[in-house]
Structure 1
């Protein structure tokens, strides 16, 4: 993973300052969750809504060498990559705790500054909200792009990091999305692929 000097725009502290300035602190703080933020949010939301983002899609195309893999056997996690659309959940933070929750979220998602945080319009049943989403540039060294099934099977079989295996991460995401009434055909295809090779129950 790439680290940036303190004066670099992509240093996590500088990116947080930029996001905080764009938010302003006066309007409501919404967060868009599309994978583990749904099933392991680690923040306290006062409201959540089904939400759809257009222009980005959920893809198992981000290299993980700590959380779900190692430098010797890298795993994968989902990222929000440009193109298509993505169904997920929008979470509204308690206004009195929004600053603290943003700090907690940053510590979790942005220790190396790998993501490109963006304010994206999220369409919800109650109307559109601007939510903070953690996107990944296709130019990022952490973006691996689409991988062949044989490579994915090998990763599902072997990759394990600080928080467990890539396979468990995939299955956890699939289960949480189903629990929210969200069907992601590519995720279900990957789950079926794992089952076909006796990697998942």
Structure 2
């Protein structure tokens, strides 16, 4: 959300329903390795989720989707899903936006792990894109910047920090 990596015309906060954000994907590449997997966020069934919506120029849509596939689909753990979204700035309903949803059939799908297991994996993991604790901390900071308080992620960050201090 905070580092889209592509050119866009507009960005807006939005909410989707039917999915929620969670550390439900084992990371073998960006935030861990196959021997020491980390955890990364994914969308999984149930609830709702606030995040960022980016509008790209029509002539750049194919290039943008190709970029996202290369970045997000390193191991094909996510499915591309077109969902409806509510743009929060004006309440406009958008019938079709692209998002990436964790595939529960994929070997890297972690599902709903308890807080201690999540904290243990995150505290010890590092991958090609950096330390797993830094990824979690960045998410918490950027959500706060957007005006979103995710108590679950904030509690998880505290648990990770306590492990790192020990």
With the length of structure 1 as denominator, give the TM-score of the two structures.
0.75
- Write out aligned runs for 1:38-53 (5 A): 38-53=1-16
* Structure 1 segments unaligned to the other structure (5+ residues): 1-37
Q: 1:71 matched to which residue of 2?
A: 34
State how many pairs are aligned.
162
Residue 93 (structure 2) pairs with residue 128 (structure 1): yes
Distance between the aligned counterparts of 2:119 and 2:93, measured in 1? 38
Q: How does 1:1-201 map to 2 (within 5 A)?
A: 38-125=1-88, 126=90, 127-129=92-94, 130-199=96-165
After TM superposition, the runs of 4+ consecutive aligned structure 1 residues lying more than 3 A away are 195-199
2: CA distance between counterparts of 1:89 and 1:69?
25
**Alpha-carbon deviation of 1:150?**
3.0
> Once superposed, what is the RMSD of the aligned Cα atoms?
1.5
Shift of 1:145: 1.6
Distance 1:137 1:114 in 2: 6
The TM-score with structure 2 as length reference comes to 0.90
Measured after TM superposition, the shift of residue 119 of structure 1 is: 0.5
Superposed displacement of residue 109, structure 1: 1.3
